[in-house]
Amino acid sequence: MRRSVIDRRAGCVREVRDDGPDATTDARGNGMEQYRGFLMLLARLRLDPRLSGKVDLAGVVQQTLLEAHLAAEQIRAWGDLQLAGWLRTALAHNLADEVRKLHTAGRDVGREEAMEAVLTRTSDRRGSWPACEQSSPIHLAMLQERLLALAGALARLPGNQRTAVELHHLNGYSIAVVAVHLGRSEGAVGALIVRGLKRLRVLLREDESG
């Protein structure tokens, strides 16, 4: 199957072959799939929860990885930290593009104003991303490794547990806000978070020992 991909370096749209998740595994000669879970986590953290289910985050991540495939020659010479920074920037552009599509899908004035507020929030949330550009290279390398491990472990949690943990502990939302988002009581959300964190610790320990 072929897919239209925005080549931001050339400023045009290109057609590339997309045969599924493995289509980008040769972008650096050693595989890009290790970053899929990492990018999914960043996309979930950056997207306003009110747009959950309305934006195809898997598609946004795939678009980002395909753009990395187009930039294979440039990326091949980079270290992991530089690559991760490039991927974060590309993901931010692609996610903002998808939110703008929702913004332009309808022209109801009230809906348009609400969507503009969400778009602004989504575009301005760099501070919530788990990365620190001022940190030392060693610290960033350790952080990068931990984020990859965290992303993989979070992806294995049941959906509501993962959402509750991410919204409360990574996005900083109160349990009351998370409860409204999930349509559950605060007590139920608290239980989800406790079970999610317990399972997350087990998964991280298993990954470290493995």
Summarize pLDDT for 150-192 with one digit per residue, the tens. Answer: 888 999 999 999 999 999 998 889 999 999 999 999 999 999 9
Read off the pTM.
0.65
Domain 156-210 has CATH 3.90.1150.10: no
How many CA within 13 A on the CB side of residue 121? 13
Domain residue ranges in the chain: 2-135, 156-210
Tell me what the mean pLDDT of segment 4-9 comes to. Answer: 48
- pLDDT tens per residue, range 78-99: 877 788 888 988 999 999 999 8
Crossing angle of helices 186-209 and 175-182, rounded to 10°: 100
Above 90 in pLDDT, residue 33?
Answer: no
Residue 202 has pLDDT above 70, yes or no: yes
Q: Residue 49 — pLDDT band, cuts 50, 70, 90?
A: confident
Q: State how far the Cα of 21 lies from the Cα of 34, in Å rounded to an integer.
A: 11
Burial 138-163 (b: 16+ CB within 10 A, else e): eebeebbeebbbbbbbbeebeebbbb
What pLDDT is recorded for position 28? 43
